[in-house]
Amino acid sequence: MKLSELSLKEASQKIQAREISSLELTNEYLNNIKKAEPKISAFLEVTQELAIEGAKNADKKVKEGGDNSPLLGIPTALKDNMLSLGTRATAASKILEEYQSMYDSTVTEKLKSDGAVILGKTNLDEFAMGSSTESSAFQKTKNPWNLEKVPGGSSGGSAAAVAAQECVFALGSDTGGSVRQPAAFCGIVGLKPTYGRVSRYGLIALASSLDQIGPLTRTVEDSAIVLNAIAGQDPKDSTTAPVPVEDYTKNLSKDIKGLRIGIPKEYFVSGINKDVEKSVRESIKQLESLGASISEVSLPYTDYALAVYYIILPAEASANLSRYDGIRYGYSIVRDDKKIKDLFSVYSKSRARGFGDEVKRRIMIGTYSLSSGFYDAYYRRAQKVRELVKSSFAEIFTGIDVLVTPTTPTTAFSLGEMADDPLTMYLSDIYTVSANIGGIPAISVPCGFSDGLPIGLQFMAKPFAESQLLQVAYQFEQKNNWYKERASI
Amino acid sequence: MAITKEEVKHLAKLARIELSKEEVDRFQKQITSILDYIDKLDKVTVEKGEKIVSSDVENILRNDVVIKSKNQKELVENAPDQKNEHVKVKTILKKNETI
């Protein structure tokens, strides 16, 4: 067995037992990156020297003994909207093309202090706006299962890197499905924790009331291990919750007899691909055979959640992205055009050249919905419907424990397929946005294939019930062999 | 709801993004189709009233204690245009101009 076929858990055990060194493992992944990148283009930056230095430090710690962190010596990758000293942080935008991380994000700091080895930074849709990673200003990432398909987005680089065995695990950020949808498209596990579970300090902000960082891994157990490392309250992010961090691995092996699982009927309507529906229905039968009690439930605002999302997200994004002004940091027109005299032109020309289409569109929609005259009709109304979505989740979770749905209506679509049609692209988020609107945790796990492309099954649970979420996902995963399938590239 | 080209230009001005004529045309169509989609929220009955922030959110305050921040010099060096360790900007107010 190749070293890069080991799960995080297995690799960690071998490092701790000194059967392998972190340096051997890191070198194997650096080799995989060299071989895979010409086809996959998952990475925007590979920090080979830093990685080798990190691996040597980890091996030293193993030798000294006493440090049994499961991440010690494990090679990982970060979505390029997270700050990590010694790397750039571009958010896949020209406006930040040369921006060097000024500090470590909290998640990076936590990974580093646990001894993880950072291999580099992965591609994303520009500022995480998109569902295919095609809006990156720098490159198009390919799906390792089929190089003509998108990897999903916006954490498409992280998902593809894990699926192509270019790292053991990766971090992504999920604002409307950006961890779960690419995980589903690439046949891996993607977790969006509860809003407030993981600190966003040092994450380049998209929509602050929705953004959450989560792991992309090969197995559910690996997901729990990474969550253990990154969860927790952070004084640098006031939205993190003072809820104690559990050991998320401890309930995994418990059976799910008697677990109450709800199937929201609104998720099985027109637009869903037949193979996706079939796999999800079969998965539900399996959950039943594992002892869960299944019932159909209704989430009446499902159809409106996406509309709420595409008002709130652009509104918050338009405010968050006002900081890219050509003055404080990032790209500025003053470098290219010395004749510019007025301040307005510095703003408007720097932003015109620095931002891509999707970012411009969303900033303008956000500006529109927040502008006087339209604020009540759009933003205020969306916030009120958001409360209805949240309260319908709260009500549902009094009678059931976990919801099961498809992660996406289809499998990975073709590169370029939706290039001129932003609205159709938005619709691919239809099953994932509700969890962000409601602030609840959700996970996608592989549940089958259609024409050689992976299908994802989504579980959702009530706020801070990650333990239960991971438990049911693990029980389902172990009943199947989907997670053992590897893309051959 | 359809949005006019003039409105697109106005939005672009508010958002401080210079648009080409081709972009105005394209964004007008695309933004109109997105607004048509989100207009479906009109069908939802919502209560009148002011409350739009959920009740489980509250302010987090910290003690008023000075802590060391990032190196100011390093941060200023990030600015595309600088002078004497200050961020340089174009003239904001002209002579005799008021805002």
A348 is catalytic: no
Number of structural domains in chain A: 1
Q: Is the complex ipTM higher than 0.90?
A: yes
- Name every chain A residue with its beta carbon within 8 A of the beta carbon of B89: 327, 343, 346
Does residue A35 have an active-site annotation? no
Q: Does B11 touch chain A (CB under 8 A)?
A: yes
SS3 A320: helix
Domain definitions of chain B by residue range: 5-43
What would the pLDDT profile of B55-71 be if each residue is shown by its tens digit? 566 788 888 999 888 78
Q: Residue B70 is nearest to which of A103, A328, A387, comparing CB atoms?
A: A103
Q: Helix or strand or coil: residue A10?
A: helix
C-beta neighbour count of A280 within 10 angstroms: 23
Q: How far does Cα A339 stand from its chain's mean position?
A: 42
Chain A neighbors of B54, CB-CB under 8 A = 386-387, 390
Q: For chain B, what percent of residues have pLDDT higher than 90?
A: 51
pLDDT at position B2 is 82
Question: What is the Cα–Cα distance from B2 to B22, expressed in whole angstroms?
Answer: 18
Helix, strand, coil percentages for chain A (3-state, nearest 5): 45, 15, 40
Residues A17 and A13: their CA atoms lie apart, in Å, by 6
Domain hosting A15: range is 1-489
In whole angstroms, what is the distance from residue B8 CA to residue A341 CA?
Answer: 25
pLDDT of amino acid A373: 87
B81: nearest CB among A331, A332, A386: A332
Q: What tokens appear for A347 in the block?
A: 């703003």
- Among this protein's residues, is A178 annotated catalytic? yes
Tens digits of residue pLDDT in A263-287: 999 999 878 999 999 999 999 999 9
* Mean pLDDT confidence for A161-182: 98
pLDDT given at position A377: 87
- Nearest-Cα distance to chain B for A127, in Å, is 16
- The kind and range of the H/E element at A458 are strand A453-461
Residue range A70-87: mean pLDDT, rounded: 98
Average pLDDT of the residues in A60-85: 96
CA separation for the pair A35, A462 (Å, rounded): 42
**Strands, DSSP E only, in A130-233?**
169-174, 189-192, 212-217
Mean pLDDT, residues B17-28 taken together: 97
Q: What is the DSSP letter of A219?
A: S
The predicted-structure confidence for A200-227, as pLDDT tens digits, reads as follows 999 999 999 999 999 999 999 999 999 9
The pLDDT value recorded for residue A109 is 98
- Are the Cβ atoms of A365 and B78 closer than 8 angstroms? no
CATH number of the domain enclosing A61? 3.90.1300.10
Q: Which of A406-420, A441-455, B53-67, B82-96 has the least mean pLDDT?
A: B53-67
Would you call A243 an interface residue with chain B, using a CB distance cutoff of 8 Å?
no
Q: SS3 string of A78-116?
A: EECCECCCCCECCCCCHHHCCCECCCCCHHHHHHHHCCC
pLDDT at B94 (0 to 100): 74
For residue A189, the model assigns a pLDDT of 98
* Least confident residue range of A25-34, A479-488, B56-65, B81-90: B56-65
For residue B92, the model assigns a pLDDT of 82
Substitution target from B17, B39, B89 for chain A, most A beta carbons within 10 A: B17
Task: Give the count of alpha carbons within 13 A of A440, CB side only.
Answer: 27
The domain defined by B5-43 folds into: Histone, subunit A (1.10.20)
Q: Does the pLDDT at position B73 exceed 60?
A: yes
Phi and psi of A451, rounded to 5°? 50, 40
What pLDDT digit, counting tens, does each position of A276-330 carry?
999 999 999 999 999 999 999 999 999 899 999 999 999 999 999 999 999 999 9
Q: Kind and range of the H or E element at A122?
A: strand A117-122
The burial class, CB within 10 Å (0-12 / 13-18 / 19+), for B43 is exposed
Q: Is A94 on the interface with B (CB under 8 A)?
A: no
d(CA A263, CA A405): 7
Average pLDDT estimate for A154-182: 98
